[in-house]
Chains A and B, each alone.
Chain A
Amino acid sequence: GQSLEQPSEVTAVEGAIVQINCTYQTSGFYGLSWYQQHDGGAPTFLSYNALDGLEETGRFSSFLSRSDSYGYLLLQELQMKDSASYFCAVRDTGGFKTIFGAGTRLFVKA
């Protein structure tokens, strides 16, 4: 079957660094994406890794290791507004569907 595993919940303090892990088992792989969703809102795209290594976009970075079927999202200098759910996602074989993980709820405390 196809599945993505990520922690259900993470709590961190303002200004800290947090890492959200994602392991995947899919029949095909065309890249790992991350989406952010605030309560009541729609998911918005954060980052994408097609190749191994680290991609940096401001305070957010995303890492991929295809040999380990593993990636993570790194959030630095946490702010209260970063409190949200974060979903990892993989494009499946043929690239027509995107499979989403169950989401990690991040709570940022003052």
Chain B
Amino acid sequence: EADIYQTPRYLVIGTGKKITLECSQTMGHDKMYWYQQDPGMELHLIHYSYGVNSTEKGDLSSESTVSRIRTEHFPLTLESARPSHTSQYLCASSGTTGGLDTQYFGPGTRLTVL
């Protein structure tokens, strides 16, 4: 059973606010990811991490930052939220077993910026 958690599940905030989306996993996975997904659309990778103190930007230009101080924790921060940031944010982690690298997704945070 995958154990990956995201908080908050829903967030409505005003423009210009700083927010942090939390993501934690208890599977000991080295790799973690943040995706942005609009309803019915594809997943866009915005950040990923190979392990502690390693972070990389993904394919989608983002005004967010991430940190990876502990293996289990991978928070995403928006310094100044804008209406264009309204979307669903999915966190995932993966471990490789026998060549199979399965991504386990959290339930997502649905963000609305007014």
Chain A interface residues (CB < 8 Å from chain B)? 30-31, 33, 35, 39, 41-45, 48, 50, 85, 87, 89, 91, 95-98, 100-103, 105
Q: Is the CB of A42 within 8 A of B103?
A: no
Q: Mark B39-50, 1 if CB is under 8 A from A, else 0.
A: 111110100101
Please, how many residues of chain B have a CB less than 8 angstroms from a CB on the other chain?
Answer: 24
Partner of A50 from B100, B103, B104, B105 at Cβ < 8 Å? B100
Q: Which residues of A contact B90 (CB under 8 A)?
A: 42-43
The distance in angstroms between the C-alpha atoms of A31 and B90, with both chains bound, is 22
Q: Is the CB of B43 within 8 A of A95?
A: no
Chain B interface residues (CB < 8 Å from chain A)? 31, 33, 39-43, 45, 48, 50, 58, 90, 94, 96, 99-108
Closest 8 CB pairs of A and B: A42-B105, A102-B42, A100-B43, A45-B102, A43-B105, A48-B100, A42-B108, A42-B107
Q: Which residues of B contact A105 (CB under 8 A)?
A: 40
Q: Which residues of A contact B40 (CB under 8 A)?
A: 39, 85, 105
